[in-house]
Amino acid sequence: MAPSRRRPVRRRARRPRRPRRPRPWRALLLAGLVGGLVWLSRGWWWPAPPRPQMILVLGGDVAREQVAAELARQQGLPVVVSGGSNPEYAQWLFGQREGLPPDQVLLDYRAQDTVSNFTSLVDDLRRARIRHALLVTSSDHMQRALLVGRLVAGSRGIHLTPVPVSCGGRCIQEPGSKLWRDGLRSVLWVVSGHDLRGWAAAHLPSAAGPGAAGPGPAGR
């Protein structure tokens, strides 16, 4: 009996493996984790700031300027008011009421909101070699102001110490969306040097439409 012949087994040709596409999100995630660890450990390596060198007041409530004026008189520190009350009132408050010389107080009206409170001034402060400022604003505004300030001013090596001003029965609970929106704007400003709000107003028609927010009291 003739031996049976086995049919040759046909092996399927292996398909060439596709090269793996680089996944940029992994690199971004890793960079974010490393950056977060570095930031959280800054207490070990960040140089201790000097004593406060100035007072930064965010406009939006004259009570903030009143507290800052008293603090400046007590500690002899220069004051910068960003987007505060009208010049006539501010000059009366700091000059006639508290007796501060004109060269101790700077009134700056470039800011339109909390983010621009810092972005409009921070490079001027760095050139003046400011490394530590007392931040004066209302207690219900302090969380957002500190977030923005520590991103924007922190990127220039400026340390902020909060001095919250009681808002009493006028306190307004800020929504979390406002906190995250200003935080994102601050990060983008630090990375790109441009404010998202200004870019949107220039490039998006809806941002300049009737529903767009116009300039309001800075510090809010």
Q: What pTM, to 2 d.p., does this model score? A: 0.74
- Phi-psi sector, 218: left (phi>0), alpha (psi -120 to 50), beta: beta
Listed residue (108, 16, 14) closest to 54, CA to CA: 108
The residue type of 29 is L
pLDDT (tens digit, 9 = 90+) per residue, 85-138? 999 999 999 999 999 999 999 999 999 999 999 999 999 999 999 999 999 999
Q: How far apart are CA 125 and CA 152, in angstroms?
A: 12
Residue 217 clears pLDDT 50, i.e. is over it? no
3-state secondary structure of 72: helix
Domains of the chain, residue spans: 50-203
Q: What are phi and psi of 108, to 5 degrees?
A: -120, 125
Average pLDDT over residues 14-26: 65
Superfamily (CATH) of domain 50-203: HUPs (3.40.50.620)
Residue 208 clears pLDDT 50, i.e. is over it? no
Q: What percent of the chain has pLDDT over 70?
A: 71
